[in-house]
Amino acid sequence: MRSIVVAAAFLALSLNLFAEKSSLVISKQYGLGYLPLIVAEEHKLIEKHAKSAGLGDVKIEWATFGGGSTANDALLSGTADLVSGGVAPFIRLWDKTEGKVKALASLNEAPIVFVTNNPKVKTLKDLSDKDRIALPSVKVSIQALTLQIAVAKEFGIKNYDKFDHLTVTLKHPDAYVALTSGKSEITGHIGLQPYSTLELQDPKLHKVYSSYDYFGGAHSTNIVWTTDTFYKANPKLARSIVAALNEADEWINKNPKEATAVYLASYKSKESPELTEQILREELNFQTKPLPNITIFSDFLFETGATKRKAKDWKELFFDAVQ
């Protein structure tokens, strides 16, 4: 009898050791680029796919961060299991952890746009020490990186950080208010949709550049990443998350009006539903598989000495769930 009890206890312990997580924390940020995560949260898609994979009831806690550096800190500290943000902070962490942090899925392709209220600034060459450029995280964010890439192409690679001292850390909603009010030191905002298009509705504001101008077209912009430890311990859950994002992407593409309503409700936003839907239809493309040119970011960071390694191709940056 005792041997049966011991065997049962051992079996229970073994099952527990190999059980996947039943609760997790996922972060998103501000902007239309995070709509797949918002839809997944609203429609409980991760919970749905996890249950279909035989994982039972999985509880998801959602967090919203203002920038990629905060997301990386949360992931490293164990405060979050999966985080999302721009490609740049992810690649820095991928390099820092020697590939022990990888991307689980891409979220979107979207232009990163530099908008200014300074009538004298038509191009990067017109910037002066009087300008202040808002972005989510100084030096770390994808907005900061695209500025450096643009500057390198205009002034040479040795001068890539020429305007870093002009940048200021602000969340996109705060940067939008600061820029459009004209009552702060902020004269520029390097942002994402819908903020860029909303800003350009103001006749006093104009575009300096779009990242697509310097990348020769579209590129993957926002992604979801996690640790190798989480991925290996939770293979079914990881694939359930990718499946949930694929379903969210499909639903957004088929239901742009309803998706717009979900986005506006999630942030309690007062933006025009019509304009937001137009931005959704015309400016963003949602898919979990990244564009191959995502390696442009890792190449540049390596070339400027910001990282010690660069990816051979996009597959080196992503777990195989999306491959």
What is the H or E stretch that residue 14 is in?
helix 2-18
Check whether 12 has a pLDDT greater than 50. Answer: no
Check whether 265 has a pLDDT greater than 50. Answer: yes
69-124 pLDDT, tens per residue?
A: 899 999 999 999 999 999 999 999 999 999 999 999 999 999 999 999 999 999 99
Amino acid at position 51, single letter:
K
Check whether 312 has a pLDDT greater than 80. Answer: yes
Question: What was the pLDDT predicted at 3?
Answer: 53
Domains of the chain, CATH where assigned: 19-109+221-316 (3.40.190.10), 113-215 (3.40.190.10)
Q: What is the average pLDDT score of the chain?
A: 93
Residues near 258 by beta carbon (within 8 Å), at least 6 away in sequence: none
151-162 pLDDT, tens per residue?
A: 999 999 999 999
Where do the DSSP E strands lie in the chain?
A: 23-28, 59-64, 82-86, 101-109, 113-116, 133-135, 167-169, 188-191, 206-210, 220-227, 285-286
Check whether 230 has a pLDDT greater than 70. Answer: yes
